Amino acid sequence: MRKTWKDKVAKATGSNYKLNKKALQIKKSWDEVEGILKKSMNKNQKKK
């Protein structure tokens, strides 16, 4: 059985709803930051 990110967070936080929600918000914002960084790196590489 495959464990999803949400399942892993729920188990690590003891199924605390508020803590789960906060952890998922942090992950979502970090994913956005990674996307922005990757786009800027790709643009820089294409210019060279």
Give the mean pLDDT per block of 10 residues along the chain (48 residues). 76 82 85 85 71
What pLDDT sits at residue 48? 59
Domain presence at residue 40: yes
Number of domains in the chain: 1
Domain presence at residue 1: no
Q: Please state the pTM of the whole predicted model.
A: 0.55
Domain presence at residue 10: no
48: which 2 tokens?
A: 């060279």
Instruction: Please report the DSSP string for the chain in residue order.
Output: -PPPHHHHHHHHTTT-HHHHHHHHHHHHHHHHHHHHHHHHHHHHHHH-
Domain presence at residue 5: no
Domain presence at residue 2: no
Domain presence at residue 43: yes
Give residue 25's domain range.
Answer: 15-47
Domain presence at residue 4: no
What pLDDT sits at residue 6? 76
Q: How far apart are CA 17 and CA 1, in angstroms?
A: 23
Q: How far apart are CA 8 and CA 20, in angstroms?
A: 10
